[in-house]
Structure formats: structure tokens, C-alpha cells
Amino acid sequence: MSKTKLTINRNGSIKIEGDFEITDCEGKVYGLEGRTALGLCRCGLSANKPFCDGSHRNGFEHESAAFDLPPMKAK
């Protein structure tokens, strides 16, 4: 299986690229029509959620910067 890459865009969507499927909370699969890259809404303004439609322009600000999460807690 190929690696899936998610990019947190500055002031915008989450770009997902690679071999993936997206399901709703009940496990139903979204029909992506063969797409291997698309944007997921991060601002909550899209009329096409969970997908980005560009509604965030001039209304959503978040400077993404990578950081390390703390170690996982032992079970």
C-alpha cells in the first residue's frame, strides 16, 4: 500500500494525497471518482463539507507549524 500524505495548508484546507478512502461516521464511503488528491475543510465554512470549497479565503487564519506530540501514555 502506498503512503498517504496530509498537508496542513497555511490559512486553508488539509490536502490529502495518495491512496485513500474517506468514510462518514457510519462507515459509508464517499464517492471520490478516482481522485488521488483533494482538500478537506478545516475552517467549517465550506458548503461542501467535509471537502474544501475555498470559502475560507479571507475568513480563516492559522499558521501551521509542525511539532512533536508528547509520548503516548502506557496502557
Question: Domain-by-domain residue ranges, the chain?
Answer: 1-59
- Specify the pLDDT at position 1: 53
Q: Name 5's bridge partners.
A: 17
Q: With beta carbons less than 8 A apart as the criterion, state whether 13 and 56 touch.
A: yes
pTM of the model as a whole: 0.85
For the chain (75 residues), the mean pLDDT of every run of 10, in chain order, is 88 95 97 96 94 90 92 91
- Specify the pLDDT at position 75: 84
- Specify the pLDDT at position 13: 94
- Specify the pLDDT at position 26: 98
Neighbours of 52 (CB within 10 A): 21
